[in-house]
Structure 1
């Protein structure tokens, strides 16, 4: 599962570098995600390249979010229309903050820290 990571001031961004997040790569996604995010930063999952998400892929996103623990947040950014539809139909939009672009997600992550 091709994932890359970049650190920003107020969040770690994990980029999904594949067009599909499905049963064929869900287990590898979970393993790679956990290896990349072993710190304590909040995470933004950049899904702008993902065009297809099935229930296994969705389950893997939820699993890594739960594994991050209660003191960390995870937001989703750049959802393609088909992926966004899955998120809305499964009501995952009530679990995750969803942003149209990575830039929007980074701005929101920085906003609570602006007064510091």
Structure 2
């Protein structure tokens, strides 16, 4: 059975259902061929979820490594750069934190 969204008659105190329509998915499905558990897409989702919860880049890196223990540092940094580019116009704070994460962990350190 499909999820249905019920549209009620607003402001009248009447709970009569005006119409029902299929509920809209708010999240996009992953790109074709993407690994859900440890691909750049999954790491990027984790970064978006955690970026505002941690103050500095080292803490954020530890949290992402805990969520994705099989991911390499390179995978996390590439995902961080992708999210940073994606968020640069809409979330400046997140973009700056992700930029710091990438810059502090560049090279072979």
Structure 1 length as normaliser, TM-score? 0.31
Q: Which has the higher contact order (CA 8 A, sep 6+)?
A: 1
TM-score w.r.t. the length of structure 2 is: 0.32
> Which structure: larger Rg?
2
